[in-house]
Amino acid sequence: MRETWRWYGPGLDPIGLGDIAQTGASGIVNALHEVPYGEVWSRTAITERKRVIEAAGLTWDVVESLPVHERIKRGDGDLSQLFANYRQSMANLAAEGVTTICYNFMPILDWTRTDLQSPTATGATCLRFEAYRMAAFEVFMLERNGAEADYLPQVVERGRVWFEASTPDDRAALLGAIMSGLPGAFDRYDIDGLKSQLALYDGIGHDEIRANFKRFLDAVVPTAEELGVKLAVHADDPPRDILGLPRVVSSAQDAAWVLGAHDSIANGLTLCSGSFGAHPTNDLPAMARRFGPRIHFAHLRNVAKDPDGSFEEAAHLDGDTDMVDLAKALLDEEARRRAEGRPDSQIPFRPDHGHEIAFDHDRDNVPGYPLIGRLRGLAEVRGVIRALEHAGA
């Protein structure tokens, strides 16, 4: 497997390429976060980014993400220009040899947590999704109609108690945590801003968003095929509807739907073990075996789930997913590809997220993306992979 590392780019990531090179990872996962959603990624900007990455002795292996514009997700109006722009960005990337492209189809929000620095038993901190806090946000701060029905009654009650005791600072911190998943230069919303974004999704349920997703795939997959681009949809995080928004990439069945919507190698999956792993019925090693040939990219991390829907990011080898078995499944897939003579026999993976450990606490990290915590994850997963390779040799 090819070791990669997510870098947010010049000016956005406090961790430099020189530090990343020292982790031993050889590939970079990058995006032009400064380009507004829906606009073309110019060839010049891509060439320049590639030059910067290569100057550090690294390679730009994966794009994460080439964002899908909200209007595409909503199926709003004439989308031909947005589709054309997406195709043009893919073509510009492919012309520079960057052909693995991760994206997601989550409405409005990307990953969502309620605590960005939740203490773990060791004194490190992790990202956590606490069901009662999310309920407090949705039911009492946002006052969203119908939100109560999405949570267990005792979770709503705990949310009410939290809300009633909360200070304006507590509420601002919760809103800030929930907005932190929006990458790069994307707008963060306040309560009113979020309400107006949510209103744009009125009347859009799972069927509608699936139809819009299919329309997007129809518009871009044939071009991706011609370009040799491999699109890799990322799972919903958390893998459930949130804020009443329909999400359709949460379960193994959902992944099968996406891959079946266009039966092409160009239409593939980012196997994010943390996002899919927060779903009660997803079995990650089984998913890796089932979808193997269409997995173009893997995010390896772990979660520990609670019965009320809460979860936190566990250390990479702890938590609910058997990381050793998952790595084994991915290595088996690589062996299968080698036997088949597939040129993309090596699957890029990155240690996804990490605890904040030691000096990480003093740095201004992108939430979830500290240096030492991710290095711990990378080193552990690297050890598992080496051991499995050795045993299989």
How far is residue 36's CA from residue 66's CA, in Å, rounded to a whole number?
11
The secondary structure of 143-203 as a DSSP string is: --TTGGGGS-HHHHHHHHHHHHH--HHHHHHHHHHHHTTS-TTPPP--HHHHHHHHHTTTT
Among residues 158 and 350, whose Cβ is nearest to ligand DNO?
Answer: 350
Per CB under 6 A, contacts with ligand DNO among 280-339 are 299
- What mask of x and - would describe binding to ligand DNO in positions 161 to 200, judged by CB under 6 A? ----------------------x-----------------
Quick one: which of 19, 110, 241, 325 contacts ligand DNO (CB under 6 A)?
A: 110
User: Considering the complex, what minimum distance in angstroms separates the CB of residue 321 from ligand DNO?
Assistant: 15
User: Judged by CB under 6 A, does residue 113 bind ligand DNO?
Assistant: no
Among residues 93 and 156, whose Cβ is nearest to ligand DNO?
Answer: 93
Q: Is 262 a catalytic residue?
A: no
User: Judged by CB under 6 A, does residue 132 bind ligand DNO?
Assistant: no
3-state secondary structure string across 94-157:
HHCCCCEEEECCCCCCCCCCCEEEEECCCCCEEEEECHHHHHHHHHHHCCCCCHHHHCCHHHHH
Quick one: which of 23, 30, 99, 104 contacts ligand DNO (CB under 6 A)?
A: 104
Q: Which of 299, 316, 355, 360 is catalytic?
A: 299
User: Judged by CB under 6 A, does residue 140 bind ligand DNO?
Assistant: no
User: Judged by CB under 6 A, does residue 70 bind ligand DNO?
Assistant: no
CA distances 352 to 22, 90, 107, 142, 299, Å, are: 17, 24, 22, 30, 5
CA distances 220 to 82, 214, 264, 266, 295, Å, are: 11, 10, 12, 10, 18
Q: Is 353 a catalytic residue?
A: yes
Q: Is 132 a catalytic residue?
A: no
CB contact set of 293 (below 8 Å; sequence gap of 6+): 265, 333, 336, 337
Q: Is 102 a catalytic residue?
A: no
User: Judged by CB under 6 A, does residue 234 bind ligand DNO?
Assistant: yes
The residues carrying an active-site annotation are: 234, 272, 299, 352-353, 369
Residue numbers at the binding site for ligand DNO (CB under 6 A) = 64-65, 102-104, 110-111, 183, 234, 272, 299, 352-353, 368
